[in-house]
């Protein structure tokens, strides 16, 4: 008797194989980078691995100060964006006032304007305020972001209004509702915004390159660019420096990936 083909199982296996192949293609460059960073520059046996390249890259690239600067700037920008996005997002989601939809459209319009287009007016404003060559020049230009405002607005809309009404009956004001009810429930969206902002600021090369010239304000990406210019012939050291600059954001994403996926999946597109 002929057995019937289980097409459901077949498609599941095929999908799994395609996903594994796709993951392998995506991860292959990373594997090559890590393997190159661990290889001996002058070893006859290419299978001999060492961690000496990381120590040399860390010392020659002066990454300690760059890590401190990038961490401070990324955390500061992230804190500003979380605060401003929470306040503006809640106001646009719950408060009824004239022009609310117009403000939402303006916020969305800012998402299509590239930052490079605004660099000249931002530079002039920072120069007028005597903020060039300071941490403020790296923090203030991106302290508010339309993506964060829209993300939290959409998430706040998905939270049932009955929760706020019950809190209002119990005597809670708007600030208490926001801080004690809405923000705890919006944790996935907040983590998503935190990851997007922190990783974006950590990987940013444009602002440090344009708004600062002092060596003590070097960030990781600027230090990596300078390192690349000095050690273009030493691939082992260069790949080690790339791994050093990449590891923090990879670890951060792995720690928050569950909340990140939940925040993206549960943020609805409601009006």
Q: Which of 126, 193, 125, 180 is nearest to 154 (CA)?
A: 193
pLDDT attached to residue 140: 93
CB-count burial class (<10 Å; 0-12, 13-18, 19+) for 254: exposed
Q: What are phi and psi of 78, to 5 degrees?
A: -60, -45
pLDDT > 50? residue 262: yes
Q: Are residues 139 and 70 in contact, defined by beta-carbon separation less than 8 angstroms? A: no
d(CA 151, CA 270): 11
Residue 239 makes CB contacts below 8 A (sequence gap 6+) with 33, 34, 36, 37, 53
Taking alpha carbons only, the member of 191, 168, 165, 166 closest to residue 85 is 191
- pLDDT beyond 70 at 45: no
- CATH no., domain 52-266: 1.10.3720.10
| pLDDT score of 1 | 46
Q: CB count, 10 Å around CB of 77?
A: 25
Mean pLDDT of all residues in 108-129: 90
Residue in this structure with the two tokens 């993506």, named with its chain if needed: 147
pLDDT digits (tens, 9 = 90+) for 176-235: 888 888 999 888 889 889 999 999 999 999 999 999 988 899 899 998 888 887 766 678
Rounded distance between C-alpha atoms, residue 74 and residue 1, angstroms: 66
The DSSP letter of residue 116 is G
């Amino acid at each position: 008797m002929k057995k019937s083909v289980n097409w459901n199982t077949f498609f599941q296996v095929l999908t799994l194989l395609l996903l594994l192949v796709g993951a392998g293609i995506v991860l292959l460059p990373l594997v090559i980078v890590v393997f190159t960073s661990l290889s001996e520059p002058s070893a006859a046996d290419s299978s001999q691995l060492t961690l000496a390249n990381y120590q040399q890259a860390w010392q020659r690239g002066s990454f300690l100060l760059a890590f401190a600067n990038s961490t401070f700037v990324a955390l500061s920008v992230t804190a500003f964006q979380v605060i401003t996005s929470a306040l503006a997002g809640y106001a646009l989601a719950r408060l009824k006032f004239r022009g609310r939809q117009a403000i939402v459209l303006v916020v969305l319009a800012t998402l299509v304007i590239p930052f490079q287009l605004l660099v000249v007016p931002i530079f002039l404003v920072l120069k007028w305020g005597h903020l060039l060559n300071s941490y403020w020049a790296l923090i203030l230009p991106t302290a508010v972001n339309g993506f964060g405002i829209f993300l939290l607005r959409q998430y706040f809309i998905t939270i049932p209004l009955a929760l706020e009404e019950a809190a209002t009956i119990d005597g809670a004001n708007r600030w208490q509702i926001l801080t004690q009810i809405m923000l705890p429930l919006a944790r996935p969206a907040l983590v998503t915004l935190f990851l997007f902002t922190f990783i974006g600021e950590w990987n940013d090369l444009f602002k440090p390159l344009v708004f600062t010239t002092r060596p003590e304000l070097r960030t990781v990406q600027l230090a990596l660019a300078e390192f690349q210019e000095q050690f273009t012939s030493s691939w082992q050291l260069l790949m080690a420096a790339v791994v050093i600059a990449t590891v923090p954001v990879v670890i951060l994403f792995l720690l928050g990936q569950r909340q990140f996926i939940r925040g993206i999946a549960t943020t609805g597109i409601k009006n």
